[in-house]
Structure 1
């Protein structure tokens, strides 16, 4: 079985509400406010940010577009974009899960919606080649989840039939897209529950 990991919110920390609360204390007093501003900023990873994720616009352009759309100062928006790479820190329990899966003999890959500059940062800062056999970043291949084409590209890159792939992602739409292509897939909420699910599928020992 080939196991495919999403990155943000699965392997790397990503909680936009608390992220914005730390960066914008002058604008965010509660996590609820942070969630509301995150929805405006990232547009559920569609809109401006989706184009950035897909590698169709660069960092300067996404900053300009978000500032123009929201009325937030250009410098404030740029500060958020600059801070994202350092926010993407590995989640220790997921790193342990990856090591245990590799020790059990499974081949691991990744499939991540990630703008190219952030993908470059992760590739340089962390041992992705040690954790994964291969992977796809949306910003590099110019396709994005939940679109069918990036899943088709992944099947070719991973040299696998859909039924041979099991996918962990924290966004229901991406899980549904994988299931629609006959991948096995489930929603990731945390490493402990993912481990239980993998044990139940006989991919790990309890």
Structure 2
């Protein structure tokens, strides 16, 4: 195994806590209704369309046409999107900053809407630590498609064998491994730090 030089982070569920339940539990005042709505109306697969580059206005309008009785609840998925953020995932930003201080290059590869990504980038100072970021909504590509990984590797001239990708989604981790990167399934910052030190020999 080549010494690792590049650490590539996913964002949602790894660096920042994003969950539509934070908004809809408040909106409905009923956790069961919130869960039903997100499992039957504003599905994760629908959200992925915006992550892939569809404008929110278009996605919202299409879904409202299918479910007019939920028009207002669908609208706030965009207009109150920031209320889905729960802050930073505990400990990850600290690990990232120590990696950066030790001389490793830090990159981001995320499925995120191009419209909403600036909201988190400008809210959390840790995003200033990155040497480069690829956002799915800007590229009209989605993980785990190999093309978005190649986009990051090519844009920043990264050697796969010198890079490790950190994501909480098993399919995204598997796709990175298929392309010759090292990869870690994120289960928490403590386990991440242990693995980077013990399994990959990183010093930070």
2:121 is aligned, of 101, 120, 123, to: 123
Query: How big is the alpha-carbon RMSD for the aligned residues of Structure 1 and Structure 2?
Result: 2.2
For residue 8 of structure 1, the aligned residue among 6, 12, 23 is 12
Higher relative contact order (CA 8 A, sep 6+): 2
1:50/1:105 Cα in 2 relative to 1: closer, same or farther (>3 Å)?
same
- TM (normalized to structure 2)? 0.85
Q: Aligned residue pairs: how many?
A: 198
**Hey, what's the Cα distance between the residues in 2 that align with 1:177 and 1:116?**
22
Displacement of 1:50 after TM fit?
1.9
Aligned to 1:75: 72
Distance 1:109 1:151 in 2: 12
Q: Given the alignment, which residue of 112, 134, 137 partners 2:135?
A: 137
Instruction: Give yes or no for the alignment of 1:164 onto 2:173.
Output: no
- Counterpart residue number, 2:26: 22
Aligned partners of 2:168 and 2:34: how far apart in 1? Answer: 19
Offset at residue 118 of structure 1 (A): 0.9
Change (3 A) 1:20 1:129: closer
The 3-state SS of whatever aligns with 1:78 is helix
For structure 2, which runs of at least 5 residues remain unmatched after alignment?
Answer: none
**1:158-200 CA-partner distances (Å, limit 9, x unpaired):** 2112111101111111111111111111111211111111121
2:40 is matched with which residue?
A: 40
Question: What TM-score results when the alignment is normalised by the length of structure 1?
Answer: 0.85
Find the aligned partners of 2:203 and 2:64 in 1 and give their Cα distance: 46
Change (3 A) 1:23 1:12: farther
